[in-house]
Amino acid sequence: MSADPTTPSKHRELGLTDSEFELIISKLGREPNDVELAMFSLLWSEHCAYKHSRKLLRRLPTEGPRVVMGPGENAGAVDVGGGYAVAFKVESHNHPSAVEPFQGAATGVGGILRDVFALGARPIAILDSLRFGELESERSRYLFDQVVAGIGHYGNSIGVPTVGGEVYFEPPYEQNCLVNAMCIGLARTEAMIRSAAAGVGNKVVLMGASTGRDGIGGASVLASAELDEADLSKRPSVQIGDPFEESKLVECCLELLDADLLVSLQDLGAAGLTSSAAEMAAGGGVGIDIDVGEVPLRESDMEPFEIMVSESQERMLAVVEPAKVEEVLAICRKWQAAPAVVGEVTDSGLFRVLHGSEVTGEMPVEALVDGCPLYDLEPAEPEGWIYGNERTLEDDDATDVLLALLRSPSIASKRWAFEQYDSIVGSRTVRRPETADAAVLQLAETHKAIAASIDGNGRRVACDPYRGTIEAVLECAQNLACVGAEPLGLTNCLNFGNPEKPAVAWQLDRAVQGLADACEALGVPVVGGNVSLYNETDRGPIYPTPVVGLVGELPDPRKSGGLALSDGDAISLVGPLAPSLAGSELAKLRGELEPGLPELDVEAHVKALDLVRAQARTGDLAIHDISDGGLACALAEMAIAGGVGARCDLDVLIRARGSNPEEALFGEGAGGYLVAGSEERVREVQVAAKAAGVDAWMIGSAGGERIEISSDWAEPSVTVADAAAAWRSLSERFGAPAPA
């Protein structure tokens, strides 16, 4: 007999449904006690179990010749030659950041760093993808300011450069900001380690910070339910980070791995000891005992269930052979990592929670980790645009429109934010933010370089979840192509609203299919990622926001191109750009957003990617992809970067694509590149494009002090200084002086 849904109960308070609670009873053969119920509630939460998305994720391609580690590990990894691999992953810390933005963002960075060094990779770079409401909102300005401060605090303190990212400002993120952090690490392939526990009788060692009550009911609970006005009271549930503690933990873990002292290693993130120990046991097909009486505590009166679900930061769990335990403990003490032997690997198939000789919880590992029911979505396409529109731009003059777009916070320079991040610590950074379309890092160990980019446009995905997601993958690949890098692997963070609602379920289903099809077409494997659902309040869901991170390889970092124009450059438009105002920033400013995006010829995009990548590797071209704000904004950004004007004629684009003048200037859509260099060199690009079957047109040249674009009757003309002032207005708004 099912429980009365109106009756208060512990399992409902912990986020479990009645049917899930009954399933737990059937798996245990009895009702769970308080410790067991807390552990089940966290591991069966959306954040840990992916119960509404796991079936969809099976569509994604995960195999590739360079894949070293794929989905299922703490992070993915790809081979970069010379005996080295690059590990990388992106994860969300959305709900904690909406409740406590500084610590939410800081601990999001700390968590993704641990995912990477848990594989034995030294973190070498951070990127972030952020979403907030419009800056007219005091709340959005506060969240933006504090999230940026939190990211800078943790990354700068631990000594890992933040080399790239993106920030968008849209009304649907007003109550539910998005904070996605990506980390890249470098490892010797032979020294990498997996998380699966193995070896009956091996010891379980906890190292790092002491365990406290901070984070109890944190990420795993907050990320599995919609936020409401009462969520400000959940601030104590947000974890508190200490980057200096983590810096010691990084060095400790890497030394242990270099000495070949560990069987397996796992970070403690959401659900703390519960998830880390259970996942390690499940991965190895073994049982595990954890004695909470041996766990170093910050607060001595903690209950067993609190110890098991605490999300205190800067902690790692390792499996160690008994003969090596003393050596492991000695190295941990050297790094002040407070080690403790807290358990043992068993052959029971059970997760037992002990308190000395007392058994306080006993559950089948399989039931905890893989026993959660997986749900089929019930998608239904909404009948129309569900997010609302507000017209904020009345002027139709092309010059005024260009300046308005450059001032738009989603397009404007984010210098105020990224100058709070150290982008060059570690001495690997070749291309800093705003100097190229992707970050470039030299790998002296392999005599090559990698490039990385993180991208997504929730507004365009809201217009068409399938095509918008394909565009996000293409945009990320374009950024890599502009610096000459070939993608090796992809990670993603799928940020959506409540999947139990048909419209959101439809968005999620179509976006995952778009991600799968785009990766298949580009031949890029998905090596890992994250799903963040229930990003929704009583005001409605966020835009569906699949964020894509790509890591690529290029042969010579010295020849990675930038985007700055030089006086006398010839300028060419290359690629299958078919500009449209659908879903564009201009459509947003005019209050004209509606469902639908133009069709995509992905095969044509692949040809253009190959062409641009090859041309970029010569190092004598400035290349910039056309994205937010269209061709006019892309040209203005190149002119601002070079401090030189440009004159271009877009009539050839209008004739070739059937575009109207405004579409040619401000229309968006994947596939377009501006390529600039000496006239002789750009003519060579034209010849190569024709041979490859890629569209390319000479459209103008660089010089003077004005940006002038002819597009039939629409002819914006503005000085470089005025364009730069508009583009840098966000920094001025936040109190940072614009650079000269």
Q: Which of 50, 25, 414 is nearest to 220 (CA)?
A: 50
Residues 542 and 132 sit within 8 Å (Cβ to Cβ):
no
Give the other-Cβ count within 10 Å of 489's Cβ: 28
575 and 679 assigned to the same domain: yes
271 and 222 assigned to the same domain: yes
R_g of the chain computed on alpha carbons: 26
Q: Which of 643, 646, 627 is nearest to 698 (CA)?
A: 646
360 and 410 assigned to the same domain: no
Is position 52 annotated as part of the catalytic site?
no
- The predicted model gives 458-477 an average pLDDT of 98
pLDDT band at 226 (very low <50, low <70, confident <90, very high): low
Tokens describing residue 168: 């968008």
360 and 400 assigned to the same domain: no
Residue-range definition of the domain harbouring residue 695:
393-425+561-740
322 and 397 assigned to the same domain: no
Is position 47 annotated as part of the catalytic site?
yes
363 and 405 assigned to the same domain: no
Region class of 249: left (phi > 0), else alpha (psi between -120 and 50), else beta:
alpha
pLDDT band at 231 (very low <50, low <70, confident <90, very high): very low
- Residue 476 in any domain: the answer is no
Residue 221 has pLDDT above 60, yes or no: no
- Residue 52 in any domain: the answer is no
351 and 413 assigned to the same domain: no
Position 579 scores a pLDDT of 95
Q: Give burial (CB, 10 Å; 0-12/13-18/19+) of 24.
A: buried
312 and 416 assigned to the same domain: no
pLDDT (tens digit per residue) in 670-704: 999 999 999 999 999 999 999 999 999 999 999 99
- The predicted model gives 320-336 an average pLDDT of 97
> 47: Cβ–Cβ under 8 A, 6 or more apart, which residues?
219, 220, 221, 223, 224, 270, 532
Position 737 scores a pLDDT of 40
Catalytic residue among 47, 95, 153, 624: 47
- Residue 478 in any domain: the answer is no
The runs of H, that is alpha helices, within 617-719 are 630-642, 651-657, 661-666, 679-692
597 and 693 assigned to the same domain: yes
Position 214 scores a pLDDT of 78
586 and 651 assigned to the same domain: yes
Position 241 scores a pLDDT of 85
Residue that terminates a domain, selected from 343, 373, 403: 373
pLDDT (tens digit per residue) in 258-270: 999 999 999 998 8
- Range list of β-strands (E), 533-621: 536-537, 540-541, 545-554, 570-574
- Residue 111 in any domain: the answer is no
According to DSSP, the β-strands at 622-625 and 673-677 are: antiparallel
- The predicted model gives 384-410 an average pLDDT of 95
Percent of the chain surpassing pLDDT 90: 86
Position 225 scores a pLDDT of 52
Distances (CA, A) of 420 to 124, 152, 159, 679: 18, 6, 13, 39
pLDDT band at 222 (very low <50, low <70, confident <90, very high): very low
pLDDT band at 426 (very low <50, low <70, confident <90, very high): confident
pTM score, whole prediction = 0.94
364 and 399 assigned to the same domain: no
CA dist 506 and 466 (Å) reads 10
**Lowest pLDDT segment from 24-33, 152-161, 225-234:** 225-234
- Residue 491 in any domain: the answer is no
CA dist 76 and 427 (Å) reads 24
Distances (CA, A) of 62 to 125, 282, 343, 433: 23, 21, 34, 30
- Residue 586 in any domain: the answer is yes
Catalytic residue among 11, 52, 93, 605: 93
- Residue 158 in any domain: the answer is no
Percent of the chain surpassing pLDDT 70: 95
Tokens describing residue 268: 């403690």
Q: Which of 653, 675, 648, 672 is nearest to 664 (CA)?
A: 653
Sign of CA dihedral 720, 723, 725, 728: negative
Residues 209 and 315 sit within 8 Å (Cβ to Cβ):
yes
> 39: Cβ–Cβ under 8 A, 6 or more apart, which residues?
271, 274, 278, 305, 308, 309, 351, 353, 361, 363, 368
- Domain count of the fold of the chain: 2
Residue 378 has pLDDT above 60, yes or no: yes
- The predicted model gives 556-584 an average pLDDT of 95
Residues 495 and 545 sit within 8 Å (Cβ to Cβ):
yes
CA dist 571 and 646 (Å) reads 9
- Residue 635 in any domain: the answer is yes
Residue that terminates a domain, selected from 308, 341, 373: 373
- Higher-pLDDT residue of 419 and 78 is 78
- CATH label of the domain that carries residue 198: 3.90.650.10
208 and 311 assigned to the same domain: yes
